[in-house]
Amino acid sequence: MARLTREEPKKPAELTEADALRLAQQGDAAAFERIYELHRRRVYSLCLRMVSNTTEAEDLTQEAFLQLFRKIGTFRGESAFSTWLHRLAVNVVLMRLRKKTLPATSLDETADADDSGEGPRRDFGAADLRLTGAVDRMNLQRAIETLPQGYRAVFVLHDVQGYEHNEIADIMGCSVGNSKSQLHKARMRLRELLHERERDRAREKRRAEADADEEPIDTDA
């Protein structure tokens, strides 16, 4: 008679996301650690892009996973787990930003007032405008930091993290049209900021060249 053998339990590192999620919802600490290892880098990247401070991003990442530990039992699989987790992380970041009283832009307000001044102008589904020119990452990151919260969140999720608009709408709790409009406005604002920076650089270069031309020649040398 063949000997019955019991299948050895998988080690945490061997667990698939689905298995780890199921066990973590049952209170398995090792499974939760597996989820943390699977997702921490992308959550940290998301936080870092939104706050531009490594220490604060690390703190926000830990806070996001602390919230996940408390709420993981509420995940029902109605969306991808990564989308659900990133929605949680974005909410943690936005709460922190609001506490800092940074300028906020509502996702319900899709545009400035129309020409008649009677209400917001709708600007959905604008063409994909790519940032042009050779701009170093530092200038781009500084420009991103100046964006209002709503613009910044959608820009980071779409152009940095690679989410589609329907996923961003799920994460941010807005419509697909609002997501598209926010992204368009974020890109337009970034273009303005980066062009302003390039103009400032050109003026500084011309001023430096003019100052160099005006330096007196030392005839006694």
Say if residues 30 and 20 touch (Cβ distance below 8 Å): no
Q: Where exactly are the structural domains of the chain?
A: 12-99, 137-211
Question: Identical fold at 12-99 and 137-211?
Answer: no
Q: How far apart are CA 145 and CA 137, in angstroms?
A: 12
- Write down the pLDDT at residue 168: 87
**What is the reported pLDDT for 12?**
61
Q: Provide the 8-state DSSP code for 152.
A: H
Measure the CA–CA gap between 161 and 118, rounded to whole angstroms.
36
Cα–Cα distance between 42 and 110 in angstroms, integer?
A: 28
CATH number assigned to the domain covering 137-211? 1.10.10.10
CA torsion sign, 209 to 137 to 105 to 165?
Answer: positive
What is the distance in angstroms between the CA of the first residue and the CA of the last residue of the chain? 106
In this predicted structure, what is the pLDDT of residue 2? Answer: 46
pLDDT per residue rounded down to tens, the chain (221 residues)? 444 444 455 566 678 899 999 999 999 999 999 999 999 999 999 898 888 889 999 999 999 999 999 999 999 888 889 889 998 999 898 888 777 644 444 444 444 444 444 444 444 444 344 444 434 566 777 788 888 888 888 888 888 878 889 888 888 888 999 999 999 998 998 888 888 877 877 777 777 777 766 665 555 55
Three-class SS state of 4: coil
The C-alpha atoms of residue 179 and residue 205 are separated, in whole angstroms, by 39
Out of 1.10.3720.10, 1.10.1740.10, 3.30.360.10, 3.40.50.2000, select the CATH number for domain 12-99: 1.10.1740.10
